Structure 1
């Protein structure tokens, strides 16, 4: 493995250090999701499908409104992707028992299997990186990412975490 590059000590607010951090976000996200992209592409799916499947797997029975808030997307973009997932037999949509206007989502057994296979690969990659970096660095990453996402998304993150 090549040497890990560290930012200049006490110069974390300089433009080049901030650009370096943004470079890291772009490059790590692209490389981290490469296997997932390949798996999804073989099924005619993409990252938007994966994001929906991921959060529906995290919260089976989630209503569409709550999912839209988590993902920060419109009903229109959700509808197109959800229709494809349903047509491929990966996700189901049901009306709520108490409120018939609610649309509740869950993955089918086939959708659960696909999401789990993708997650297992991503899990291994993140676990490897966490182990190499150590607990203090992981805690720092969590702090930085929560500050990047802003208050509205932090509320969503806490909800997904069950907090």
Structure 2
């Protein structure tokens, strides 16, 4: 699974534009389904998907700094600061000054933030688990290979590093 361009897909090179378009549409509809449950939860708090992504990745790497989160999310500093200000003011994220570099801010979820993250993640795990169970192990492996192949090289490197680290 480490090689995103593993052998076996060569036979699919004959896909027509119409078939590729259907794949693109399937991704749009799958994404809509994948985000529907968290969107309903987030709406109760007046949050959006940017808040969800921030909470998710702060949970994945407690103590991450703002610059690292900027790199992971691929958003502007202004956009991330707006999201973080809200999450900090609402008591979901704790921002601590770096021990070695006082200019750095390290981010941690509070108990309240961890509870929201768990609720959001569980909603997505339920959907993913059901889809994986219905599709079967070969489809799951193929799906992951396709997703990795669509990632930019830096994203794929970071994704695989996270996997190797056991997170």
TM-score (norm 2): 0.87
In structure 1, the gaps of 5 or more residues are: 1-8
SS at match of 1:42: helix
Relative contact order, higher structure (CA 8 A, sep 6+): 2
- How far residue 12 of structure 1 moved from its aligned partner, in angstroms, is 5.4
Give yes or no for contact 1:12–1:18 (8 Å, CA) kept in 2.
no
What CA distance in whole angstroms lies between the structure 2 residues aligned with 1:117 and 1:12?
42
The RMSD of aligned alpha carbons is 1.5
CA–CA separation in structure 2 for the residues paired with 1:145 and 1:10: 16
Aligned residues: 155
Give distance in 2, aligned partners of 1:52 and 1:115.
10
Distance between the aligned counterparts of 1:10 and 1:103, measured in 2? 47
Stretches (4+) displaced over 2 A: 9-13, 158-163
Match of residue 111 from structure 2: 109
The verdict on how the C-alpha distance between 1:11 and 1:149 changes in structure 2, with shifts beyond 3 A counting, is: closer
Q: Deviations over 1:31-68 (max 9, x none)?
A: 12111101101101010000000011111111111111
Q: Is residue 91–residue 108 contact of structure 1 (8 Å, CA) maintained in 2?
A: yes
Q: Label 1:80 to 1:130 Cα distance change in 2 as closer, same or farther (>3 A).
A: same
Q: Distance in 2 between matches of 1:23 and 1:16?
A: 10
Match of 2:45 in 1: 43
* Maintained 8 Å contact 1:58/1:160: no
Hey, what's the Cα distance between the residues in 2 that align with 1:143 and 1:12? Answer: 18
Distance 2:162 2:68 in 1: 10
Q: Which of 150, 153, 159 is matched with 2:152 structurally?
A: 150
Alignment of 1:13-162 (within 5 A): 13-162=15-164
Shift of 1:158: 2.2
Q: In 2, distance between residues paired with 1:152 and 1:54?
A: 19
- Could you report, residue by residue, the CA deviation over 1:76-128 in whole angstroms, capped at 9, with x for unpaired residues? 11001110111111111111112222211111100000110111111011011
CA distance in 1: counterparts of 2:25 and 2:71, whole angstroms: 27
